[in-house]
Amino acid sequence: MSDKAIITCSLNGVLTDPKQHNVPVTPEQMAREAKAAFNAGASVMHIHLRQQEPDKGHLPSWDVSISKEIQQAIREACPGVLINHTTGQSGPDYQGPLDCVRQTRPEIAACNAGSLNYLKVKSDNTWAWPPMLFDNAVPKIQDYLDVMKASNTLPEFESFDVGIVRCVGMYAQTGMYDGPLQYNFVMGVASGMPADPELLPILLKLKHANANWSVTAIGRAEIWPLHLRCAEMGGHLRTGLEDTFYKPDGSKVTSNGPLIETMASYARQAGRAIASPAEARVILGLH
């Protein structure tokens, strides 16, 4: 267990409409939100790219120039910060995320480690969106891992279900990947693992013994007991406007800062110090 907790801020996400929620889109907005999170204790910024034209901010982008601008703005606002770049893309055309990683060389990038039926049902028993497959077949994962290795980028293995956690070990076992392992247990997606603290001991039993791990908890006020348990069990911490808009008391936030402040207080409550960017690099094996 690391006595220092790395805090990641998921600044904006892929689905959230800036017209409905106050999520950052432009480089200036991303830098401002990153600075608020950085000041509250986050040393890693997880970024998604959006189209920059008026009324297009709800649409994803894989424009390398946008990625470079956003990363530069965040790095100028937050000295020493680590960038964790999204790569999630359904379907057979995922050249955009590969190009972004190859050409911007972020310290960390998400590596979605398995496929998931991405489903949600509304209270009237109809689909919240048309059922979709978030497809991450092994050849696709290998393509991501190859680019990340060439870019000296640490893959963060996004694990949406228990079986996916087990797959990560197989990627290491077969030589698909031979670097330090970093798991991110994604909990709270309706068709994936629930945001249940009682799952954590099982997940820790299934991950590689010496691997770093963190929890992404999707939901409202009910996710916070899971975050506290994660802090107590030695995991690294992540929250932000991609994952929730609600503090533990149920109040809604409009900025990442208060969410990261809450997470930092949970780390301290668990008797752990907050890792600086330099300390985070050492913990994650980034040199």
* DSSP codes of every residue in 175-208: TS--S--EEEEEE--TTSB-S-GGGHHHHHHHS-
Q: Which of 12, 21, 16 is nearest to 254 (CA)?
A: 21
pTM of the model: 0.97
Q: In whole angstroms, give the CA distance from residue 90 to residue 88.
A: 7
In sequence order, which residues have a C-beta less than 8 Å from that of residue 86 and are 6 or more positions away? 14, 46, 47, 48, 49, 97, 109, 110
Q: In whole angstroms, give the CA distance from residue 142 to residue 177.
A: 8
Q: Are 197 and 172 in contact (CB under 8 A)?
A: no
Q: Are 275 and 55 in contact (CB under 8 A)?
A: no
Q: Are 36 and 9 in contact (CB under 8 A)?
A: no
Token pair in block for residue 135: 């497809």
Q: Which of 105, 98, 201, 183 is nearest to 141 (CA)?
A: 98
In sequence order, which residues have a C-beta less than 8 Å from that of residue 72 and are 6 or more positions away? 27
Per-residue pLDDT of the chain (287 residues), as tens digits, is 568 999 999 999 987 888 888 899 999 999 999 999 999 999 999 999 999 999 999 999 999 999 999 999 999 999 999 999 999 999 999 999 999 999 999 999 999 999 999 999 999 999 999 999 999 999 999 999 999 999 999 999 999 999 999 999 999 999 999 999 999 999 999 999 999 999 999 999 999 999 999 999 999 999 999 999 999 999 999 999 999 999 999 999 999 999 999 999 999 999 999 999 999 999 999 97
Q: In whole angstroms, give the CA distance from residue 275 to residue 6.
A: 5
Question: Domains along the chain?
Answer: 4-284 (3.20.20.70)
